[in-house]
Amino acid sequence: MLSHIHSEADLDIGLTALRRADPRFGALLATAGRPPLRRRPDGFAGLAATIVAQQLSTASANAIWRRLVAAFDPLEHAAILRAKPHRLARLGLSAAKIRTLKAIARAIERRELVLATLADLPADAAHAALTAVHGIGPWTADIYLLSCLGHADAWPAGDLALQEAAKLAFALPARPTAKEMLALAEPWRPWRSVAARVLWTYYRTIIAAAKSSARRPARS
């Protein structure tokens, strides 16, 4: 059984299996088109980038990330472990993110977290290994598994955009909670990350169409 989405061919396999598991995805793909693969680097740098991006605009996160990479080249856990908190703060990192990056660096140093082994674990086990580290929440764990490791079954149930996408796509009465999202996606195993990619793409398509319609001048 394929467990990772590393290539466009892998994505094709996942999309075919997902449509077979839930025919509603055929209609979503017809509306929004094929989702992008969008892979990011893995390892400590990939996990650190996910932490930096939390609760920030893309522009702000990118600016902080550029400063961080410029200050620590290469960006490895040992360098963050040695860095003084005030130096990291000057780069734009919040106190909470500094604590999280330090906790991750310590866990790696002590081999309590071995990032290289996560790709070989089932999604739920890899998720548990990540969230056992102080500061790594469910969203961060799932985004790392999906975007950096390409895990086929990662499912960021707490992602607000994904929740809103599910509401729109399946005509739900309200935006589902993280718990409801887990139940919703259960039939899509082991292709939940493919479902997430389709739903995010559908959401962007619907929002873009709505904005375009709002800008269009009314006919007299």
Of the chain, the end-to-end C-alpha distance in Å amounts to 58
Report pLDDT for 58.
Answer: 87
Is the domain of 114 the same as that of 177? Answer: no
Return the pLDDT at 218: 53
What parts of the chain have a pLDDT lower than 50? 220
The confidence score (pLDDT) of residue 207 equals 83
Residue 107's CATH number: 1.10.340.30
Residues 48 and 144 in one domain: yes
The total number of structural domains in the chain stands at 2
Whether residue 61 is found in the same domain as residue 30 = no
Cα(186)–Cα(190) distance, integer angstroms:
9
Does residue 114 sit in the same domain as residue 196? Answer: no
Between CA 8 and CA 161 the distance in angstroms is 24
Do 16 and 98 lie in a common domain? no
The one-character DSSP state at 117 is G
**Which CATH number goes with the domain that contains 195?**
1.10.1670.40
- Does 201 map to a domain? yes
Range(s) of the domain holding residue 67: 43-148
Instruction: Based on the fold, state whether residues 79 and 128 are members of the same structural domain.
Output: yes
Residues 107 and 135 in one domain: yes
pTM of the model: 0.88
Judge if 71 and 102 occupy the same domain. Answer: yes
Q: What is the pLDDT of residue 220?
A: 46
DSSP per residue over 22-89, as a string? -THHHHHHHHH-PPP------HHHHHHHHHHHTTS-HHHHHHHHHHHHHHSSS--HHHHHHS-HHHHH
Domain identity same for 51 and 115: yes
Is 220 domain-assigned? no
Residues 86 and 103 in one domain: yes
Under DSSP, is residue 4 helix (H, G, I), strand (E, B) or coil? strand
Same-domain pairing of 140 and 92: yes
* Domain termination site, one of 125, 148, 171: 148
Q: Among 116, 137, 110, 112, which residue's Cα sits nearest to residue 42?
A: 116
How far from 183 is each of 21, 62, 178, 180, 197, CA to CA, in Å? 15, 34, 9, 5, 18
The backbone torsions φ and ψ at residue 49, rounded to the nearest 5 degrees and listed phi first, read: -65, -35
